[in-house]
Homo-oligomer: A and B are copies of this chain.
Amino acid sequence: MELVQIYQCLCDATRLRIIHLLTHGPLCVCHFQEILDIPQVRVSQQLAYLRKHGMVEANRHANWMIYSLPSKRPAELEMNLKCLQDCAQTDKRFRGDLRKRKAVTTNSARVSAALKSSANL
């Protein structure tokens, strides 16, 4: 993976929030929708972009598509994800996303089983 492609994936606010959320574990589309508070189309479109660029992996569980970071990650991606996590810690928006994330994932019992079985972090 080219370094510049990593930055291309991170250079849009929505994608950046998606990737940041994924550094804390897999999520399904409906979760992104709720956490980010944006229409389903936009979530799917950005996820398609990230998939196309090898930045995320998708696994279907019944009706839900569970997205996660690639299980095998080149060094430069790993470093940048770590850097992103560090930077996000002091940012209001990212912290808010994580708060919502916790609320959303603990409430949806049906999906959480699928999430667990997809966890590769």
Contact = CB atoms under 8 A, between A and B. Distances in A.
Contact of A80 (B4, B12, B16, B87): B87
Contacts of A76: 87, 90
A4 B13 contact: yes
A49 interface: no
Contacts of A79: 83, 86-87
Contact of A90 (B7, B12, B75, B91): B75
A2 to B, nearest CB: 8
Most interface-central of A3, A10, A76, A79 (chain B CB within 10 A): A3
A8 interface: yes
Contacts of A113: none
B16 A10 contact: no
17 contacts: A3-B84, A4-B11, A4-B12, A4-B13, A4-B16, A7-B7, A7-B11, A8-B11, A75-B87, A76-B87, A76-B90, A79-B83, A79-B86, A79-B87, A80-B83, A80-B87, A83-B83
